[in-house]
Amino acid sequence: MRQRYTYQPRSGHGLPHDPLNAIVGPRPIGWVSSLSASGQRNLAPYSFFNCFNYHPPIIGFASSGWKDSVRNISESKEFVWNLATRPLAEAMNESSASVPPEQDEFALAGLTPIAASHVNVSMVAESPVNFECRLTQLIRLQDVQGTELESWLVLGEVVAIHIDETLLEDGIYQTAKAQPILRAGGPSAYYGISEDLRFDLVRPDARRG
């Protein structure tokens, strides 16, 4: 029988670095742009991000702390998700800097803001995929005792999707060709994906059909 390292998170993990983020990973990056009530652009990456529903499409990210993105979205009810790719990794990382609310992360990271078509939020022009979103739910997380945490889950319906046409081959989106980057464990680990690592599985119900 294999040996297992077991711990209770509330008592600490006892390791050099919390393994949670490395186990639940790699994770897609929520590179979120928003606009403040005063018209100030904001752009920030969030590593707790994913897609949660098909029809209508719902995506979401979690923020540890009431950060500028959460405040902006709570006020405007709008945001944009921008695909973070390997060529944009350094710019994405620059946009993660803790700076005053009046600092424009687009300018800080050397990125080009362009107008969205359905929401009043700038998109990252250099990103090959952008989702325009409207807020559906803003949920403060709580623990098993019902104690409210300093963490918020932002969920939004995707109302418009923009895809660089070079990523569509015979109408099929090519995931690896987009070179998405994924967050892993540790303070600095990221991963890419490769077509060489792809494998296909057909769901059992489809095989029976």
Q: What are the pLDDT digits (tens) for 41-75? A: 999 999 999 999 999 999 999 999 999 999 999 99
Distance between CA atoms of residues 133 and 35, nearest Å:
13
Instruction: Using a cut of 0.75, tell me whether the model's pTM lies above it.
Output: yes
- Give CA–CA dist 134/118, Å, rounded: 9
Contacts of 159 (CB under 8 A, 6+ apart): 118, 119, 132, 133, 134
Summarize the confidence of residues 90-107 as an average pLDDT: 95
pLDDT at 22 (0 to 100): 86
Q: Quote the tokens at residue 182.
A: 């994924």
Q: Which pLDDT band, with edges at 50, 70 and 90, does 187 fall under?
A: confident
**Measured between alpha carbons, how far is 9 from 150 in angstroms, rounded to an integer?**
17
Q: What φ, ψ does residue 91 adopt, rounded to 5°?
A: -65, -40
Max Cα separation, the chain?
60
DSSP 60: E
Q: Which range has the worst mean pLDDT, 21-30, 120-129, 138-147?
A: 21-30
